[in-house]
C-alpha cells in the first residue's frame, strides 16, 4: 500500500482489498463494474479488463494511481523508481530513467512488465532500455504491482512478480457534445538541475476519445550528499509523445495508441558504456468486449527500438560505437467466462516475438582489438514465445475462495552466425558458428491461491506458484570470451565481463507465500499486511568464474544454472493518528522489506539482495492541501555476492519532505529530498565505474553514491 494513496480520506486503504471484502458478492461477478474510485477518476470503461476482480488480484498487489504518482513527479522521471514504493519492490541502479525493478529479490527479466499490455524487451547488452524507460511517470494512469505469487493469467516467462502499467486509459464525455480537457506541468529538481515538463490534451464525446500525452526531461550529473561531489555519467535527456484514439459503445471498447520515445543521451555510472541515442516506436491496440458468455480482452502490439551506445565525455577517453536494433511484436487474447454464480474461468493465448541485431562497427586505428571489421554480437537473434493458460476461480462460501491456473509457454530461440572485429576473435566465432543455435523450451507454470476471509476485519491468502523463465538472447548467445568483448555484456552494474552459454536451461521458481491482512471494517482507519515468502529456484541463471581480469577488481564470468533459494518478508501498514474537521487528517504509514538469497551450489549470497529496508511516512491532508514527511532507511548490506565483488554498503536513513496544494485548476508542489544531505550508497547501485575510469583506473573501485539534497518544485495547470 502506498503512502499518498493511503492518505486519502474516505477511500479504502488498499483498493484491491475493498473489492475482496464484499463477501456476499461472488468473486466472479462481472456485471457491476469495477471500482467506484476508478469511475470517479473518469477511467470508466477501460477498467472492465479481464481479471479486474477476485483472486486474479492477489492480496500482494499494490495499486498505484495518479494521486500516488503525481506527488513523486518533482523527485524523479524514472517510472521504475516510483514502482519501488510498493512492498517487495526494490530497484537497481542504471541510467537516470532506466532503473530495473526487483521483486522479492528476483530482478530485471525475472519481473514481468506489461506496458499497456505490451511485452517490451531490453534491446541492449546492458539492458539500458528496459520496458519502464519508455514511459514517463506523468503518463502512468494506473499501475498494479503484484509482488510474488502471480496468477498465470498475468505471468509467463517470469519468476518474481508482475508490474502492469496502463497509460492508454481513455476518457469519455458523460453527456452530449464534445468535452475537452488538458494540462501542462513543469517540474524542477535542484540536484542535477533537472527540468521536466508534461502535457496532456483530450477531446472526447460520449463514444469517441482522442488524447495526447507528452513529456520531456533533462538532467545534468547529480551531486552526492555531504561534500557535493559530482557523480559522473548520471545525466540524461528523454522525451516521449503518445497519441491515443478510443471508441466505445455499451459493450465494446477499442483503444489504439502510438508512442514515439527518444532518449538522445543517458549516462550509466555503473556501466562501461553509455546510451548515446535510443529511438523507439510503439504501437498497441486493445479491444474489450462484453458478450453473453463473458468478457473478451484482445491486444496486439509492435515495438521497434534503434539503440546506440558509446562513451560519454565525462568517462573519456574512449570511443566504441555499439548499435542495436530490437523489435517486439505480439498479441494476447484473454477471455473471462462466468460458468456459474461462483465459478469463473479465464483462458488465454499470448504470442511474443523478439528480434535482435547487435553489432559493433570498427573503430579507426584500433585493429585488431576493435577493427578492421564489424563485430557481430547477436546476428538476427530471435526469441518467439507462445503462451496458453487456463485459470479457474471458485467461491466455496462467504469466506473461502480459490484460484487454480496452469500455463504452458513454448519458447523458440535462434540466432545466425557471428564474426569478430578481426582474426583475434576467429577461434571463438568458429566454435560458436559450428554449433546448432536453435533452442526450444517447453515451460509449464502452475499457480494456486486460497483466500480465507472469516470476517470483515481479517483476510488470509495462501499462495503457491511454479514459474519458469527461459534465458534471454544474451544469456544464451553472447559468444566472445575475450575480456574486452565480455566486458560489454551484463546488466548487473558490476563492470564484470559475461560470456553466454548455449547449454543454459530455463530457470524454474517454486514460491510459497502467506499474506495476512487485518484492517478496520470500513477500510479507512488502519490496516496491516504481512507477507512472508520462500522461493526455491531450480537452475537459477547465475554465473561461473572464468578468470580474473588484468585488474583484480573485475572478473570474467560465464552464465550458468545453479539451484538457489530466497526467503523474505514484506510488511506494510497504515493508521490514522488524528482527524478533525479543522486540522484535517494525520496518518502514519510504512513499508518494511527483507530478502535473503543464496546460491545453494556455492553457498554465495545471490547478487542484488536488498538488505532490511523501510519507508515510513507521516502524512497530513486538509482539503486541497497534502503533505508528507518521509523516512527512507536501509541497513548495512553485508550479504554480498563474492563472485562478482559486489560492494558492501553502509546503512543509512534519509528524510524527504513534500507538500502540495490544489486550488481550482492549479496544483503546486514543493519538496526537499534527502533533507540532511546524507552521503549514502544505494545497496543495489553497483560500482562507480565512471569515477574509476575518469580517475585512470587506479586502486579499488567503490560503490555508486546516491543523490544528495535536492529542492523540488512543480506546477500543473489544468484547463
List residues binding Cu ion (CB under 5 A): 124, 126, 128, 309
Q: Which residue lies nearer to Cu ion by CB, 128 or 311?
A: 128
| Residue 123 C-beta: closest distance to Cu ion, Å | 8
Q: Does residue 531 contact residue 87 with C-beta atoms inside 8 Å?
A: yes
The three cell numbers of residue 431 are: 566454435
| Residue 369 C-beta: closest distance to Cu ion, Å | 20
Q: Which residue lies nearer to Cu ion by CB, 55 or 128?
A: 128
Q: Does residue 386 contact residue 119 with C-beta atoms inside 8 Å?
A: no
| Residue 273 C-beta: closest distance to Cu ion, Å | 6
Which of 24, 14, 30 has the alpha carbon at shortest distance from 395?
24
Q: Would the CA dihedral through 81, 85, 91, 93 be positive or negative?
A: positive
Q: Which residue lies nearer to Cu ion by CB, 493 or 506?
A: 493
* DSSP state letter for 637: B
| Residue 310 C-beta: closest distance to Cu ion, Å | 10
| Residue 360 C-beta: closest distance to Cu ion, Å | 11
Residue number closest to Cu ion, CB atom: 124
Q: Which residue lies nearer to Cu ion by CB, 124 or 300?
A: 124
| Residue 130 C-beta: closest distance to Cu ion, Å | 11
Which of 566, 561, 622 has the alpha carbon at shortest distance from 596?
566
CA distances from 320 to 128, 398, 419 (A): 16, 64, 17
The three cell numbers of residue 391 are: 485459470
Q: Which residue lies nearer to Cu ion by CB, 126 or 470?
A: 126
Which of 654, 644, 645, 568 has the alpha carbon at shortest distance from 611?
568
Q: Which residue lies nearer to Cu ion by CB, 124 or 543?
A: 124
| Residue 307 C-beta: closest distance to Cu ion, Å | 6
| Residue 266 C-beta: closest distance to Cu ion, Å | 9
Q: Which residue lies nearer to Cu ion by CB, 128 or 654?
A: 128
| Residue 124 C-beta: closest distance to Cu ion, Å | 3
For the chain, percent helix, then strand, then coil, each to nearest 5?
Answer: 10, 50, 40
Which of 183, 126, 224, 204 has the alpha carbon at shortest distance from 498?
126
Give the Cα separation of 348 and 337 in Å (integer): 11
Q: Which residue lies nearer to Cu ion by CB, 277 or 601?
A: 277
Q: Does residue 157 contact residue 411 with C-beta atoms inside 8 Å?
A: yes
Q: Which residue lies nearer to Cu ion by CB, 128 or 672?
A: 128
| Residue 321 C-beta: closest distance to Cu ion, Å | 11
Q: Which residue lies nearer to Cu ion by CB, 272 or 439?
A: 272
Helix (H, G, I), strand (E, B) or coil at 6: helix
Give the Cα separation of 662 and 711 in Å (integer): 20
| Residue 379 C-beta: closest distance to Cu ion, Å | 17
Q: Which residue's entry shows cell 532500455?
A: 129
How far is CA 220 from its chain centroid? Answer: 24
Strands (E), 292-321: 294-310
Q: Which residue lies nearer to Cu ion by CB, 69 or 356?
A: 356
Give the Cα separation of 137 and 123 in Å (integer): 21
Burial group, residue 16, by CB count within 10 angstroms (0-12, 13-18, 19+): buried
| Residue 128 C-beta: closest distance to Cu ion, Å | 4
Largest CA distance in the chain: 79
Q: Which residue lies nearer to Cu ion by CB, 2 or 100?
A: 100
Strands (E), 152-310: 161-166, 179-189, 194-204, 208-219, 236-248, 252-266, 274-291, 294-310
| Residue 478 C-beta: closest distance to Cu ion, Å | 13
How far is CA 620 from its chain centroid? Answer: 29
Stated as kind and residue range, the H or E segment containing 474 is helix 473-477
Q: Which residue lies nearer to Cu ion by CB, 272 or 407?
A: 272
The count of C-alpha atoms lying within 13 angstroms of the C-alpha of 556, restricted to the half-sphere facing its C-beta, is 19
Amino acid at each position: 500500500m502506498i503512502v499518498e494513496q493511503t492518505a486519502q480520506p474516505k477511500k479504502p486503504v488498499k483498493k484491491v482489498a475493498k473489492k475482496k471484502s464484499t463477501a456476499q458478492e461472488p468473486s466472479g461477478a462481472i456485471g457491476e463494474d469495477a471500482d467506484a474510485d476508478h469511475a470517479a477518476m473518469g477511467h470508466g470503461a477501460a477498467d472492465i479488463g479481464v481479471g479486474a476482480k477476485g483472486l486474479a488480484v492477489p492480496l500482494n498487489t499494490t495499486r498505484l494511481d495518479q494521486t500516488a504518482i503525481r506527488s513523486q513527479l518533482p523527485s524523479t522521471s524514472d517510472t521504475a523508481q516510483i514502482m519501488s514504493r510498493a512492498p517487495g519492490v526494490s530497484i537497481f541502479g542504471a541510467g537516470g530513467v532506466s532503473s530495473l525493478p526487483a521483486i522479492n529479490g528476483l530482478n530485471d527479466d525475472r519481473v514481468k512488465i506489461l506496458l499497456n499490455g505490451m511485452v517490451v524487451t531490453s534491446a541492449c547488452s546492458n539492458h539500458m532500455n528496459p520496458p519502464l524507460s519508455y514511459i514517463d511517470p506523468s503518463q502512468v494512469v494506473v499501475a498494479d504491482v503484484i509482488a510474488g505469487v502471480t496468477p498465470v493469467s498475468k505471468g509467463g516467462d517470469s519468476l518474481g512478480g508482475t508490474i502492469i502499467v496502463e497509460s492508454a486509459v481513455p476518457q469519455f464525455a458523460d453527456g452530449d457534445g464534445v468535452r475537452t480537457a488538458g494540462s501542462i506541468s513543469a517540474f524542477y529538481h535542484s540536484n542535477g538541475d533537472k527540468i521536466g515538463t508534461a502535457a496532456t490534451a483530450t477531446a472526447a464525446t460520449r463514444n469517441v476519445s482522442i488524447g495526447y500525452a507528452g513529456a520531456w526531461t533533462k538532467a545534468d550529473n547529480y551531486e552526492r550528499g555531504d561534500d557535493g561531489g559530482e557523480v559522473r555519467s548520471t545525466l540524461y535527456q528523454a522525451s516521449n509523445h503518445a497519441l491515443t484514439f478510443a471508441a466505445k459503445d455499451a459493450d465494446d471498447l477499442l483503444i489504439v495508441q502510438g508512442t514515439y520515445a527518444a532518449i538522445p543521451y543517458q549516462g550509466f555510472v555503473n556501466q562501461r558504456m553509455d546510451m548515446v541515442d535510443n529511438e523507439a516506436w510503439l504501437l498497441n491496440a486493445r479491444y474489450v468486449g462484453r458478450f453473453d458468455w463473458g468478457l473478451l480482452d484482445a491486444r496486439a502490439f509492435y515495438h521497434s527500438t534503434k539503440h546506440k551506445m558509446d562513451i560519454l565525455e565525462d568517462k573519456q577517453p574512449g570511443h566504441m560505437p555499439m548499435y542495436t536494433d530490437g523489435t517486439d511484436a505480439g498479441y494476447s487474447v484473454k477471455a473471462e467466462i462466468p460458468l456459474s454464480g461462483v465459478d469463473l474461468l479465464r483462458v488465454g493465448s499470448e504470442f511474443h516475438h523478439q528480434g535482435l541485431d547487435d553489432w559493433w562497427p570498427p573503430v579507426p586505428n584500433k585493429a585488431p582489438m576493435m577493427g578492421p571489421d564489424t563485430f557481430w554480437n547477436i546476428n538476427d537473434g530471435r526469441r518467439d514465445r507462445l503462451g496458453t493458460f487456463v485459470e479457474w476461480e471458485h467461491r466455496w462460501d462467504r469466506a473461502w475462495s480459490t484460484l487454480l491456473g496452469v500455463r504452458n509457454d513454448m519458447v523458440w530461440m535462434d540466432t545466425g552466425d557471428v564474426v569478430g572485429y578481426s582474426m583475434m576473435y576467429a577461434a571463438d566465432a568458429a566454435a560458436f558458428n559450428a554449433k546448432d543455435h536453435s533452442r526450444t523450451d517447453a515451460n509449464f507454470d502452475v499457480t494456486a491461491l486460497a483466500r480465507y476471509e472469516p470476517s470483515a476485519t481479517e483476510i488470509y491468502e495462501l499462495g503457491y506458484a511454479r514459474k519458469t523463465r527461459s534465458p534471454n538472447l544474451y544469456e544464451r548467445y553472447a559468444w566472445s570470451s575475450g575480456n574486452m568483448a565480455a566486458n560489454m555484456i551484463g546488466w548487473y552494474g558490476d563492470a564484470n565481463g559475461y560470456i553466454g552459454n548455449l547449454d543454459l536451461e530455463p530457470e524454474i521458481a517454486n514460491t510459497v507465500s502467506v499474506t495476512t491482512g487485518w484492517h478496520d471494517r470500513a477500510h479507512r482507519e488502519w490496516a496491516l499486511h504481512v507477507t512472508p515468502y520462500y522461493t526455491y529456484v531450480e537452475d537459477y541463471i547465475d554465473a561461473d568464474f572464468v578468470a580474473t581480469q588484468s585488474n583484480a577488481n573485475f572478473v570474467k564470468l560465464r552464465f550458468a544454472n545453479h539451484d538457489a533459494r530466497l526467503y523474505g518478508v514484506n510488511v506494510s501498514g497504515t493508521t490514522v493518528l488524528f482527524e478533525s474537521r479543522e486540522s484535517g487528517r494525520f496518518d502514519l504509514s510504512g513499508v518494511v522489506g527483507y530478502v535473503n538469497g543464496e546460491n545453494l551450489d556455492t553457498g554465495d549470497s545471490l547478487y542484488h539482495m536488498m538488505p532490511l529496508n523501510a519507508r515510513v511516512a507521516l502524512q497530513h491532508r486538509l482539503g486541497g492541501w497534502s503533505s508528507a514527511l518521509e523516512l527512507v532507511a536501509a541497513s548495512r548490506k553485508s550479504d554480498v555476492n563474492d563472485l562478482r565483488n559486489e560492494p558492501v554498503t553502509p546503512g543509512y536513513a534519509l528524510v524527504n519532505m513534500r507538500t502540495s496544494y490544489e486550488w481550482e485548476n492549479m496544483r503546486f508542489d514543493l519538496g526537499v529530498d534527502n533533507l540532511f544531505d546524507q552521503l549514502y550508497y544505494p545497496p543495489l547501485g553497483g560500482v562507480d565505474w565512471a569515477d574509476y575510469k575518469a580517475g585512470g583506473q587506479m586502486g579499488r573501485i567503490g560503490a555508486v553514491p546516491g543523490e544528495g539534497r535536492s529542492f523540488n518544485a512543480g506546477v500543473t495547470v489544468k484547463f
